[in-house]
Structure 1
Amino acid sequence: MIVNLTSAIFIIALILVMGQVFSALFDKTRIPDILPLILFGIFLCPVFNIVSLDLFGQMGKVFTEIVLIIVMFQTGTSFRISDLRDSFLQGSILTVICMAAVGAAVYLAAFYALRLPPIYSLIMALIVADNSLVVIMPLLSKLKISGETKAILTLETTLQSVLIVVIVLALISMAKEEDVTSHIILTKVLYSFLMAALISVICGVFWSAILNKVRRLENSMTLTLAFILIVYSACSAAGSEGAFGVLIFGFVIGNIRVIQKLWMSKVLTEANSFKGYEKNFFAEIEYALRTLFFVYMGMSMYLQNTYFILCGLFIVLLKFGIRAVVVNYTLSKHITRTDCAIAAALCPSGLVAAVLAATASQQLGGTNGIQDTVYSVIFFSLILTSLFSFVIEKEYTRPITDFIFSRHNEDIKEEPPSDKPSDEPAPEQNKHAGV
């Protein structure tokens, strides 16, 4: 186990360099950079025990929260009102149906295979139903899919994470025989959404109004980063979901000029969005944090019990199969088959699932394998998501994709940009020759 500070700093530098190398390889080979980073983390800690998670202590939890905050903010700024308008209904339907279908199947698996009590089975089912936003967002930014599909998947992942966190924590309280009813759970969910939206919209409008003045100060971008953390803290302190609040804040900042024209032309006299150098600043921060996070996620995976590992693999296959069916019948027919296939493949469990599984294990005790099984689900779902997204984009699975998603539009083969330069100049030359 490494205790040498110099060695630890060298490993951090090595991880950042590896992240850049894997990112460049992704652009050329389409092999997702997530998988090798996670595998590197697994070799560092669970396999060879080069680094121990005990070294991180409470800072590990702080680090994961900061990663989530930055990823949510970047996701919010990339959202466009036009995309949200076109994707809100489909994203909401996909969220509800996928949660219900996957949750029901995993509930039965947990109840019969793991012999868990009904309330514990329900908790595990919802934990597994969650799709990791921290994993999906970096993939969405690099995969070649339409803006509408990206908006649908972003909305689905965000809504799903907030719903699952609130409901699972309420169910844990119920399992501890506290006075919690379905009415209280619904009230908590609505309160979490509304309070986060209210605080974030106010903060977003306020910050956009004073952004020009902030830019005159030294280290202005650091002040914006600090304000993002303040928004998160304010939403969490109000009993809402801080990460969702940061998403809304980023959405307001990214669309403030449109919001001003549509709804606030008389109230908001000055509206400032981010400039290019500010976007680059946060993009660099996101890259560094998420690269380190994927290695940290790999270090956090302890797979020991063979039975729980096999149960996790079975549940992952079940989850992917159900999601393919749900995606096929909930997304509009005009969305292409490749987009549908990628949407079906992007359902990895991750940060939220790991945290909720650990919380359930700590607070309930005697949960008979929930945490071990969820870690197995995280491991296999990350591998399958990486592999599926690769083979789908490479069109290795085109016959299978066309068969499963036959009700959707075919992909347009003339889209690749490499074809157009060779085809278009020729007719122009012929016209000039004829004249």
Structure 2
Amino acid sequence: MYQIILAVGLLIFAAHALSFVFKKTLIPDVLILIIFGIVIGPVLHLVSSSDFGKIGQVITTIALVVILFESGCSLNFRVLMNSFKTSGFLTLASFIVTTIIVCLFSLSFLDLNFISSLMLGVILGGTSSAVVVPITNVLDIEPTTKTTLLLESAATDVLCILTLFSLVEFYEHGQAFNIIKFISSIGSSFVMAIVFGLFAGTMWLIIIDKIKNFPNTLTTTIAWLFIVYGLTEMFGYSGPIAALAFGLILTNYKSFSFINNFILAKHEIKPLTKTELDFYRELVFLLKIFFFIFLGIQFEIKEYNLLAFAIVLVFFIFILRIPMTKLLFKETNFTDKSYISMMAPKGLAAAVLASIPLTYNVPGSEQIIDIVSMVVVFSIILCAVLVMLFRFNFVKRLYQKVL
């Protein structure tokens, strides 16, 4: 047991060192953490994902929720409003283009039928908040760009989930795809999740003022966050979006005129303290360590033809994001456009959704799981490598030619 405790302590110290290296050299810590997970897992077989049992998936979900919450706390409401238009276009374009590319590749090179290929495309259609947020937080980019990428990563999760279950419904019952029902489902999931998050945040601002004098209240906000996420998911809406909205209202409540003037006016509201915000950032840091190492531990190559397919697929997903970025961000500065074109990593949502086709006995489900796990790891590694290489002039000149 003492070896595990020792390893955890050394790992946390090493992760702090990696964060410092990232800021100085732009060598992303997520890259080192994933590689470390691969080394101790699939390479040396010191640990396997089964050793974590269900707690592994639980902590990865907690990591996603806390990362989005802390991001919401760090957002500026005005910047958020300025980013809505561009993030909306980017979200739809990224999801549609990625889905089509993956579907076409699967039909051409794999033994998957159309519905299975389309499901694989939908599963890989989003980007990962758990990857995008830590990387963009240390990049020298405009707040609007950072917010746009955050919103894209949070919104595509909802698109992936709802579209996949619409396809499952079609596969199970042979029901025609109803575009009106689909759009209304997405709209209600977004709107109700935002309402849940804002309402819960408003209530918490009132409650926290009453209990701040009690001991050990620093973690009660996180406990409330988990309750909000759980209830939102239980009612069939997007828990991650609710977590983002919850964090947003805690630090931007004055920007919501109705809430501030009519609900909070009678209460002496105190914003989150620097100590609280620092604590949430440190919690994100610790959860991030586990998240990326666990991804590396889960990595497994079962068939080398699927490995080659996953590598080529990731390459084309990133290549096609370049013209899409060029088209949508004409007024954005070169550096920000370059980083936007790199932010196509897949993550937790894809890994979780990959098992859904197997649950419904969709043909090729096992292949889908294997491909998704490899695409998730390779896409994160490529994203991190591109960010690292962008500090070199020859890479910048290459991006100048295509952007």
**TM-score normalised to the size of structure 1?**
0.88
**What does residue 194 of structure 1 align with?**
191
CA distance in 1, matches of 2:357, 2:94: 23
Conserved 8 A contact 1:109-1:315: yes
Give the letter aligned to residue 320 of structure 1.
F
CA distance in 2, matches of 1:362, 1:18: 39
Which of 317, 321, 344 lines up with 2:341 in the alignment?
Answer: 344
Conserved 8 A contact 1:358-1:371: yes
Give the letter aligned to residue 195 of structure 1.
M
Comparing 169-178 with 196-205, greater Cα deviation is found at 169-178
CA distance in 1, matches of 2:330, 2:362: 44
Which of 357, 361, 368 lines up with 1:364 in the alignment?
Answer: 361
Q: How do residues 271-286 of structure 1 correspond to structure 2 at under 5 angstroms?
A: 271-286=269-284
Conserved 8 A contact 1:38-1:298: yes
Q: Deviations over 1:337-396 (max 9, x none)?
A: 111111101111111111111332343354151111122212221121011111224444
**What does residue 236 of structure 2 align with?**
239
Conserved 8 A contact 2:99-2:122: yes
Conserved 8 A contact 1:170-1:180: no
Conserved 8 A contact 1:162-1:241: yes
Report the CA distance shift for 1:203/1:325 in structure 2 as closer, same or farther (over 3 A): same
Comparing 8-17 with 207-216, greater Cα deviation is found at 8-17
Conserved 8 A contact 2:128-2:347: yes
Once the 2 structures are TM-superposed, how far is the Cα of residue 311 of structure 1 from its aligned partner?
0.6
CA distance in 1, matches of 2:172, 2:2: 45
Conserved 8 A contact 2:70-2:281: yes
Once the 2 structures are TM-superposed, how far is the Cα of residue 178 of structure 1 from its aligned partner?
6.6
Which of 151, 155, 165 lines up with 2:161 in the alignment?
Answer: 165
**What does residue 87 of structure 1 align with?**
83
Q: Structure 1: which 5+ runs fail to align?
A: 406-435
SS at match of 2:344: coil
Q: Deviations over 1:388-415 (max 9, x none)?
A: 111224444121122212xxxxxxxxxx
Q: How do residues 67-78 of structure 1 correspond to structure 2 at under 5 angstroms?
A: 67-78=63-74
Which of 193, 203, 218 lines up with 2:215 in the alignment?
Answer: 218
CA distance in 2, matches of 1:273, 1:360: 44
Higher relative contact order (CA 8 A, sep 6+): 2
Give the letter aligned to residue 38 of structure 1.
I
**What does residue 134 of structure 1 align with?**
130
Report the CA distance shift for 1:363/1:8 in structure 2 as closer, same or farther (over 3 A): farther
Once the 2 structures are TM-superposed, how far is the Cα of residue 123 of structure 1 from its aligned partner?
0.8
Give the letter aligned to residue 220 of structure 2.
L
CA distance in 1, matches of 2:308, 2:187: 37
SS at match of 1:176: helix
Comparing 31-40 with 216-225, greater Cα deviation is found at 216-225
CA distance in 1, matches of 2:163, 2:6: 41
SS at match of 1:115: coil
Q: Deviations over 1:225-259 (max 9, x none)?
A: 11111111110121112121111111111211222
Does 1:355 find its partner at 2:363? no
SS at match of 1:273: coil
Give the letter aligned to residue 185 of structure 2.
K
**What does residue 48 of structure 2 align with?**
52
**What does residue 290 of structure 1 align with?**
288
Once the 2 structures are TM-superposed, how far is the Cα of residue 12 of structure 1 from its aligned partner?
2.4
Give the letter aligned to residue 204 of structure 1.
G
Give the letter aligned to residue 81 of structure 1.
F
CA distance in 2, matches of 1:398, 1:309: 29
**What does residue 203 of structure 1 align with?**
200
Give the letter aligned to residue 162 of structure 2.
V
Conserved 8 A contact 1:12-1:292: no
Does 1:105 find its partner at 2:101? yes
Conserved 8 A contact 1:77-1:254: yes
CA distance in 2, matches of 1:220, 1:394: 46
Once the 2 structures are TM-superposed, how far is the Cα of residue 33 of structure 1 from its aligned partner?
0.4
Give the letter aligned to residue 24 of structure 1.
F
Comparing 185-194 with 270-279, greater Cα deviation is found at 185-194
Number of aligned positions between the proteins: 399
Give the letter aligned to residue 201 of structure 1.
L
Once the 2 structures are TM-superposed, how far is the Cα of residue 75 of structure 1 from its aligned partner?
1.2
Report the CA distance shift for 1:360/1:18 in structure 2 as closer, same or farther (over 3 A): farther
Once the 2 structures are TM-superposed, how far is the Cα of residue 90 of structure 1 from its aligned partner?
0.6
CA distance in 2, matches of 1:112, 1:320: 19
Once the 2 structures are TM-superposed, how far is the Cα of residue 214 of structure 1 from its aligned partner?
2.2
SS at match of 2:261: coil
Q: Deviations over 1:292-317 (max 9, x none)?
A: 11101100111121100111111111
Q: Structure 2: which 5+ runs fail to align?
A: none
Comparing 396-405 with 363-372, greater Cα deviation is found at 363-372
Conserved 8 A contact 1:316-1:381: yes
Conserved 8 A contact 2:254-2:260: no
